[in-house]
A and B are shown apart, each in its own frame.
Chain A
Amino acid sequence: MKQALRKIRLLCDLDDGQLERIAAIASIERVKTGDIVVEEQGPANSIRAVAEGRVSIAVSVPGRGELPVCTVSVGEILGWSALLPQARWLATARAVKDTTLIVLRGAALLDLYEQDRELGYRVMHRTFETVAERLHDTWLQLMDSYRQ
């Protein structure tokens, strides 16, 4: 498990001991192409990292069905909503390849942050980096810059 965790960017600043503590709350989830990983509206309880494969994030639009907005690839995370209190999934994640995910329960992860503030800071720092990048990339997508 520790080997697999090392490849996750979110956890790249952690030392061995910290990684072991994360490994203790992590589990592996395997999904097939087309499988739903999390479903919009459902309770958001776990943050996931892609160890292998690819997952698309899609929002349901009435009359248009599921509209994919981005994909998450190896080393990247999805489901940061699970770190928010009483959160629900804002989008549906679906495997677009056979995919292996590392699942970290949100509540357990928050407990770990409380116990080891340094670990918490390091992971949250990387989470923020991911959120910021994803937001920025979304702006660029919205610009529809290839239209002309």
Chain B
Amino acid sequence: MTPPPAHWLERDELGHLLALIRGDGYRLIGPTVDGAAIIYDEIEGVDELPVGWTDEQAPGRYRLRRRDDDAIFGFAVGPHSWKQRLFPAREPLVQIRRDGDDIRFSAARADPPPTAFIGVRACELAAIELQDRVFVRGPFVDHRYAARREACLIIAVNCVEAGELCFCASMGTGPRVGPGYDLCLTELDGGFVVEAETEAGAALVQRLDARAAADAELTARDAGLDSCRQTMGRELDTEGLPGLLFGNLDHPRWTEVAERCLACGNCTQVCPTCFCFDVKDVSLLANAETARERSWDSCFGQDHSTIHGAVFRPAIADRYRQWLTHKFASWTSQFDASGCVGCGRCIAWCPVGIDVTEELSAIRSQDPKPAIELPRPQVWWPREDDPLVPAPARVLEVQPETPDTVTLVIERTTAVREEPGQFNMLSLPAIGDVPISVSGSGEDFVEHTLRGVGRATKALSELRPGQRLGVRGPFGSRWPIELAKDHPLTLIAGGVGLTPLRSAMQQLAANPDDYPAVRLFYGARSAADILYDTELLAWDSLPSCDVSVTVDQASRRWLGNIGFVTRLLRRKELPLDGRYFICGPEVMMRQVLFLLDEAGVPKSHRFVSIERNMKCAAGFCGRCQYGPYFVCKDGPIFRHDHIDFIFGQPGF
């Protein structure tokens, strides 16, 4: 491919370029000195750019300093990144209006004005491209992000000087700006080498007083880039890093760094690729109107991993490890690229000066265990519908199951039929939405069994027939029922873990020719907590099904089994060619998997359902991460051998 023709733009012409862009209706966002930092803000022209300024950076340190010359782009990067512009720190996702029992959900549109980003560095363009992978190249498209992305014109800048904390050369993201820009400038003495990549960029060059760049200017550009590459303040060996990190989850360095880390989350806020967010309902005017808003979140916060009051990453060491393994390892499985672009912001803005390059080198050099192989990334074909906007649905029926559990029969809102094991997000205005497994479905209805334990599930469990709620989904993976054809199949459920297995059981029971030997082992808290008792009896009466139930606590009136569900399994044969579907609390699943290990059942024959903190359910918000996976899109049903390196591992 021939490189785009390069032009030479005199230094004084930069103002002309910015004026042209403004004249075309773009607002300009560019670097500008504000207080003691160079930030990205709305500018009108060259005067507001940080002419003659540079930044000095070190771990935990960032200072502005006057340069000896009047370079315009003679600095590295400040606390801002373009993330603020494309993925704002706070924004409404859904507007919800309640009118009596009627609820309407509408997408909050971004409607962004055309915006030109002035001075996008190579590492930053790479970061934008990485966030594109999250928001537009997953199973769904985030339309707000996509609209802003569509509306931006990118004027990039090649770096000819490296900062003290830069390591883009190690990450393969710079210093030369990669594809994805409209215009790219290289600042040299007296002017700029200008390269256009898009028609919009080329059209701008044509309107400028720019001549073809001379060979000497191109040589100077390349020399600048080379010198920058060779003077990077930091270096990182990325060879085999993902497998190395996951092979060393118990490395002592995690504890050492946790002693210094304050878990403040600064690193995640300044990181141009971190994308985790939280979603909350903000109510206006007596709950008639509610805005469902997202705001940046950080994996250093406790709420990030909390479900039903249980914190999955309680220690700072867990959270630091989560961040670093995500950035440098899980990203590769999730998005087919490292999540780090080597900008060095997390080092400068860490109040205690933790240096990721140093931490990673320490793990590599201090008695590392062998690397392990991580899952390959999936390729997604994004669905166009907005996954974050619920559809209003009417409750058709409410079936009480136990004193604190009900099954909601809800009218179907989508043409997509839920598969056993998948889940929907159920929501109510001002309360928010929660993931609930599909427990059954028919042509025009879907069933969800839920226990009122938290605010949202309590409110949902109090719904009455005729009332409305929001439904979005279905999301996630399903029980691979077809793999169990011609094999004995054993379903093992604990507590409400029976709900995602119920719809599987319904299908299995209805197809005895394909599934002639199905066993269900079900452990409940007490006789009063047994779900679907009539159905359990009906399944047990079928020649193709065998149902065993046990309870943890019983009164004298209970004549069935008492004891943990593992006791039922110990009494039965566990065939090696059998398939096993397991769902329940993780402690229960772990014990069941031990028994299957003892029996010698291959891990590839076992499937488990994992629960983590799902918020968006569409693969955007990052809160349900489970090692290299997102539970919402890669799970919740996983094959055991795909997760056994993190299953039961504290902190994941």
Interface residues in chain A, defined as those with a beta carbon under 8 Å from any beta carbon in chain B: 33, 54, 56, 58, 65-71, 73-76, 96-97, 133, 137, 140-141, 143-148
Cβ-defined contact, A70 with B563, below 8 A: yes
Cβ-defined contact, A145 with B558, below 8 A: no
**With contacts A58-B556, A148-B308, A148-B310 known, is A74 near B571, CB below 8 A?**
yes
From B562, B584, B585, B587, A71 is in contact (CB under 8 Å) with B562
Interface residues in chain B, defined as those with a beta carbon under 8 Å from any beta carbon in chain A: 308-310, 453, 494-497, 523-525, 529, 550, 552-556, 558-564, 566-567, 570-571, 584-585, 587-588, 591
Cβ-defined contact, A146 with B494, below 8 A: yes
Cβ-defined contact, A144 with B561, below 8 A: no
Cβ-defined contact, B570 with A141, below 8 A: no
From A54, A56, A97, A146, B585 is in contact (CB under 8 Å) with A146
From B496, B556, B561, A54 is in contact (CB under 8 Å) with B561
Cβ-defined contact, A140 with B559, below 8 A: no
- Shortest beta-carbon distance, A14 to chain B, in Å? 20
List 8 contacting pairs A-B, 8 Å CB cutoff, sorted by A.
Answer: A54-B561, A68-B554, A68-B555, A71-B560, A75-B571, A97-B559, A146-B495, A148-B310
Cβ-defined contact, A144 with B552, below 8 A: yes
From A65, A140, A147, B591 is in contact (CB under 8 Å) with A140
Cβ-defined contact, B561 with A73, below 8 A: yes
Residues of B within 8 A of A75 (CB): 571
Kindly state the separation between the CA atoms of A56 and B553 in the bound complex, as whole angstroms: 12
**With contacts A96-B559, A97-B559, A146-B529 known, is A137 near B584, CB below 8 A?**
no
Cβ-defined contact, B561 with A140, below 8 A: no
A76, A140, A143 — most chain B CB neighbours (10 Å): A140
From B524, B559, B560, B591, A146 is in contact (CB under 8 Å) with B524
Cβ-defined contact, B563 with A137, below 8 A: yes
From A96, A137, A147, B564 is in contact (CB under 8 Å) with A137
Q: Which residue of B lies closest to A65 (CB)?
A: B556
Cβ-defined contact, B556 with A68, below 8 A: yes
Residues of A within 8 A of B554 (CB): 56, 68
**With contacts A68-B556, A133-B570 known, is A148 near B525, CB below 8 A?**
no
Residues of A within 8 A of B550 (CB): 71
Cβ-defined contact, A56 with B562, below 8 A: yes
Cβ-defined contact, A66 with B556, below 8 A: yes
- Shortest beta-carbon distance, A21 to chain B, in Å? 27
Residues of A within 8 A of B497 (CB): 146
Kindly state the separation between the CA atoms of A122 and B374 in the bound complex, as whole angstroms: 45
Cβ-defined contact, B587 with A143, below 8 A: yes
- Shortest beta-carbon distance, A111 to chain B, in Å? 30
Residues of A within 8 A of B563 (CB): 70-71, 137, 141
Residues of A within 8 A of B587 (CB): 140, 143, 145
- Shortest beta-carbon distance, B529 to chain A, in Å? 7
Apart from A68-B558, A141-B563, what are 6 other A-B pairs with CB-CB below 8 Å?
A69-B562, A133-B570, A137-B564, A144-B525, A145-B494, A148-B585
Q: Which residue of B lies closest to A146 (CB)?
A: B495
Kindly state the separation between the CA atoms of A147 and B591 in the bound complex, as whole angstroms: 17
Q: Which residue of A lies closest to B309 (CB)?
A: A148
Q: Which residue of A lies closest to B524 (CB)?
A: A146
Kindly state the separation between the CA atoms of A66 and B561 in the bound complex, as whole angstroms: 16
Kindly state the separation between the CA atoms of A144 and B495 in the bound complex, as whole angstroms: 10
Kindly state the separation between the CA atoms of A147 and B555 in the bound complex, as whole angstroms: 17
Q: Which residue of A lies closest to B451 (CB)?
A: A148
Residues of B within 8 A of A143 (CB): 587
Cβ-defined contact, B558 with A141, below 8 A: no
A65, A71, A145 — most chain B CB neighbours (10 Å): A145
Kindly state the separation between the CA atoms of A97 and B558 in the bound complex, as whole angstroms: 11
Kindly state the separation between the CA atoms of A71 and B559 in the bound complex, as whole angstroms: 9
- Shortest beta-carbon distance, A92 to chain B, in Å? 10
Q: Which residue of A lies closest to B552 (CB)?
A: A141
Kindly state the separation between the CA atoms of A96 and B562 in the bound complex, as whole angstroms: 11
Residues of B within 8 A of A66 (CB): 556
Q: Which residue of B lies closest to A74 (CB)?
A: B571
Residues of B within 8 A of A65 (CB): 556
Cβ-defined contact, B564 with A140, below 8 A: yes
- Shortest beta-carbon distance, B580 to chain A, in Å? 18
Kindly state the separation between the CA atoms of A69 and B563 in the bound complex, as whole angstroms: 7
Kindly state the separation between the CA atoms of A58 and B562 in the bound complex, as whole angstroms: 10
Interface pairs A-B: 3 shortest CB-CB? A146-B495, A140-B564, A145-B585
Residues of B within 8 A of A140 (CB): 564, 566, 587-588, 591
Residues of A within 8 A of B591 (CB): 140
Q: Which residue of A lies closest to B548 (CB)?
A: A73
B453, B496, B550 — most chain A CB neighbours (10 Å): B550
Cβ-defined contact, A148 with B453, below 8 A: yes
Kindly state the separation between the CA atoms of A131 and B561 in the bound complex, as whole angstroms: 18
Residues of B within 8 A of A97 (CB): 559
Residues of A within 8 A of B562 (CB): 56, 68-71
Residues of A within 8 A of B585 (CB): 145-146, 148
Residues of B within 8 A of A71 (CB): 550, 560-563
